[in-house]
Amino acid sequence: MSGVVYFDNAATTLCKPKAVPEGVRRSILHCASPGRGGHAPAMAAAEVVYRCRKAAAELFKADDPEKIVFTSSATHGLNIAINSLVRPGTRVAISGYEHNAVTRPLHAIGADVRVAAGRLFNGEEVVENFRKELENGAKVVILNHVSNVFGFIQPAEEVARLCKKYGAAMILDASQSAGSVDIDAGGMGCAFIALPGHKGLYGPQGPGILICGAEPKPLIFGGTGSESKSQDMPPYLPDALEAGTANVPGIAGLLEGINYVNQTTPAAIMAHQRKITRHIGEKLQEIGGFRVYLARKSENQAGVLSVVKEGTDSEETAQILGEMGFAVRAGMHCAPLAHRTAGTLDTGTVRISPSSFNTLRQADMLIKALSRL
């Protein structure tokens, strides 16, 4: 990593398990395209892709690997999910911490969007505000499981129960939770769960996953290697949503990343990341001069920490840290709604997000650097 101390894992995990690049390399050398031939390289690709579906189904407790659809990103998956359920005027309740990957598609469709905003780290308030929106007729609920800005773990299971009670469809954006928070796709009964491969699952940039619990509407159309004589997309998963050549090298790397998460366990990964963010947050509070967005109860926050150096522009703080050899992300984090809800829209924040591979020693180096600003 050329000497950079990398704390921008909420954007993309940079340090990967060794098996990830090896999987990508093997796939490039030996795998062709699944479903596009009966020869050995095509079948080898098909096996890699299927093994990744199975590993993901196991990790997310999906009852059937066919419900695991590979997308080009979590954003792609969210667009499929939203376009499957939302029409112009559909009343959609979203949390106060949604990413532009949710708000922009809703805006483009012309949905009737209601924000069920709860205060930061206040899960009870989030649940109560969703209840109100569901009583007022929301048909679709979209919930960011973990805020990409603040690490706020939103009460997904409680909101899913409410959706069942009121007959609403739920889309879970698991972009920041996948890999470090247990997700029971089968138990929650979400219509869709979208997630990326390149963050907490430690895969390469590229493949994402959409877990389908409802009937999807394809967003793109094309070859699938099945029912080729028909001009309609195959009506079954995953083919209905997987037009075009699969990103086999990306999926091969993702398979190794998921294997790592399955072996390490999301709970252990969360404990490690949380230990680091709480250490940094508590030290910065002691030092003073920082607004530190640290949950009082640690169980309400994942391994993502936002801070603001008083009197200093967040982008400038990140720029100086970058020059000192630390990679963090500043600004809006593509989630202006989250900043509006938390009251940081004018300043943005500096986000510190460790991975499984960061150490407390690196955290101390960052604290020292921040204290010198």
Q: Which residues bind other proteins (CB under 8 A)?
A: 34-35, 37-38, 43, 46-47, 50, 53-54, 64-66, 225-230, 234, 236-239
Q: Please, which residue, 81 or 237, has the CB nearer to other proteins?
A: 237
Instruction: At 47, list the tokens.
Output: 């096996």
Q: Please, which residue, 65 or 77, has the CB nearer to other proteins?
A: 65
Sheet with 192-196, edge to edge strand ranges: 68-71, 208-212, 192-196, 169-173, 140-144, 91-95, 112-116
Q: Please, which residue, 8 or 239, has the CB nearer to other proteins?
A: 239
Q: Please, which residue, 36 or 161, has the CB nearer to other proteins?
A: 36
Q: Please, which residue, 137 or 222, has the CB nearer to other proteins?
A: 222
Q: Please, which residue, 110 or 223, has the CB nearer to other proteins?
A: 223
Write the single-letter amino acid at 236: Y
Strand 5-6 vs strand 326-327: parallel, antiparallel, or unpaired? Answer: parallel
Euclidean distance between CA atoms 322 and 318, whole angstroms: 6
CB of 59 to other proteins, least distance (A): 17
The backbone torsions φ and ψ at residue 121, rounded to the nearest 5 degrees and listed phi first, read: 65, 15
Q: Please, which residue, 35 or 96, has the CB nearer to other proteins?
A: 35
CB of 210 to other proteins, least distance (A): 14
CB of 311 to other proteins, least distance (A): 56
Helix or strand (DSSP H, E) at 293: strand 290-293
CB of 56 to other proteins, least distance (A): 12
Residue with tokens 């109100």: 132
Closest CA to 66 of 250, 194, 241, 189: 241
CB of 240 to other proteins, least distance (A): 10
For 61-180, list the strands marked E by DSSP. Answer: 68-71, 91-95, 112-116, 140-144, 169-173
Q: Could you give the angle at which helices 19-30 and 248-264 cross, rounded to 10 degrees?
A: 150
> Do residues 149 and 97 make contact, with C-beta atoms less than 8 angstroms apart?
yes
Closest CA to 145 of 330, 342, 300: 300
CB of 64 to other proteins, least distance (A): 8
The DSSP-derived string for 241-256 is: G--S---HHHHHHHHH
Q: Please, which residue, 35 or 348, has the CB nearer to other proteins?
A: 35
